[in-house]
Structure formats: C-alpha cells, structure tokens
Amino acid sequence: MSSSVTAAALRELHRLHSQLSDLRGRLDRGPKQITAHKGSVAQLEAALDAAKALSLDTRKAADRKQLDVKAQEDKIANWENQLNSAKSNKEYHTFQEQIAAARMAASVLEDETLELLGRIDETAAEVHRHEERLAAGQAELKKVETNVAANTEVLKAEVARLEADLAVAEKALPDDFKADYRRVVDRKGAEGLAPCEEGVCQGCGQSTTLQMQADLRASKPVFCKSCGVLLYLPE
C-alpha cells in the first residue's frame, strides 16, 4: 500500500471518533434514564394504590364490626326488656343465657373493632408515607427530564461540531486508503483505531513485528494482525 498517513492525523481521527462515541452514548443514556425513573414512579404509584386499598378495606371492616356490635347491643336491650315479661323461670333463664352470650360476643366484637380502628391509623400513616415517596419520585423524574432535555441540545450541538471536524479530517486521507479506513471504522467505531506503544497494540495487547513498527515510523497504514485495528504511534 503506497498511502502515507501521519500518526498525528490518525491520533486526531481516533480522538474525534472517541469523543463522538462518548457523546452519542450520553445521548442514548438520557432517554434510558427517563424510562428508568418512569418505571420507578409507576412502582411508587402502584404501592400507593395498594396502601390506599388496604386502608379503605380496613375502614370498611371496622365499620362492619361496629354494626355487628350495635346489632348485639340491640339484641341485649330487647332481651333485657323481655326479662320482666317472662312467663316462666325457664324462659327467664333462657333470656339471661342469651343476654350473657350476646354480651360475650359483643365484648369480642368490641375488641376486634378497637384493633381495626388502631390499624386504620396505621394504614393512614402508611398511605401518607407512600404519598411522600411518590411526590419525591415524581419530582426526581421531572428533574431528570429537565436535565436530559437541556443536555440533549448541548450534546447534539457538540456532536454536529465534531462530525463536521471528522468529515474534514477524513477528507484529507489518501484516496487509496479511505476504503480500508472506512471498513475498520464502520465495523469497530472508535475502537477501530489504537496506539502502538513500545511495539504493542493497545487494542488487544499483542506485539507487532519489527516491519510493522518500521512502517508506522514511515507513516504507512498498519493494521494489527491480531485484532485488525488501525495502529498509530502515540505522541
């Protein structure tokens, strides 16, 4: 190959490709960050809905228990009224047994009601905690969306500038070398170029031959025989 490509030109090309790769990666990460935060917010919303449902179910259960207590109290009052009109001792004792059983049932229901009323306060507090977490998650999402939107414009402008610089640098390459250069860059991107330091390819760590090192010093295009990258001498 008769082409002549200086190490400085290849270093500049590698720099431009590396910076472009980094900037494009940062552009790609922006939407992914937003998607990840939206997923987190969705999980927080689901957790809040579950906490609200539990709180509502607990309140409904407490209301049902209170109605059951009221029903027992009504029974007790009714039987107590009937005690005075009992027609026999047997009927009188029957009312007393029913009243005693109802009072025991009412006592159990009252304990269960008190427990549920306590749980209402606990579930309400849990709902409040989930609301705070959701608010914080939504605020963080908005912050990320704002930052990504602002950074995207800056990154796009920088990418456009570097792409223009890269086009100028590539245009200066020898015509009979451009096809080989384009082949390796299209396949490997920024990793298609690597310095050769002390006779070692920094792309794969393999040693180069003396002839390859001589060609590099003579500004001839050299590709690593092991990994195929375009080599250049460091400053």
CA angle 149, 137, 23 (to 5 degrees): 30
Is residue 230 included in any domain, yes or no?
no
Is residue 211 included in any domain, yes or no?
no
Rounded Cα gap, residues 163 and 21, in angstroms:
11
Here the contacts of 148-152 (C-beta below 8 Å, separation 24 or greater) are 148/30, 148/31, 148/33, 148/34, 151/26, 151/30, 152/27, 152/30
Rounded Cα gap, residues 5 and 38, in angstroms:
49
Q: How many residues does the chain have?
A: 235
CA angle 209, 211, 214 (to 5 degrees): 115
Q: Residue 102 is part of which domain span?
A: 28-154
- Taking the chain (235 residues) in runs of 10, the rounded mean pLDDT of each run is 82 97 96 97 98 93 83 82 80 83 84 84 94 98 96 96 97 93 95 96 96 95 96 94
Residues 6+ apart with CB under 8 A from 99: 76, 79, 80, 83
Helix (H), strand (E) at residue 232: strand 230-232
Provide the domain count of the chain: 1
Is residue 134 included in any domain, yes or no?
yes
Residue-level pLDDT at 159: 97
| Residue 123: CB atoms within 10 Å | 20
Is residue 89 included in any domain, yes or no?
yes
CATH code of the domain in which 64 resides: 1.10.287.1490
Is residue 64 included in any domain, yes or no?
yes
Residue-level pLDDT at 88: 83
Is residue 159 included in any domain, yes or no?
no
Residue-level pLDDT at 200: 97
Residue-level pLDDT at 1: 46
Residue-level pLDDT at 21: 96
Is residue 125 included in any domain, yes or no?
yes
Is residue 215 included in any domain, yes or no?
no
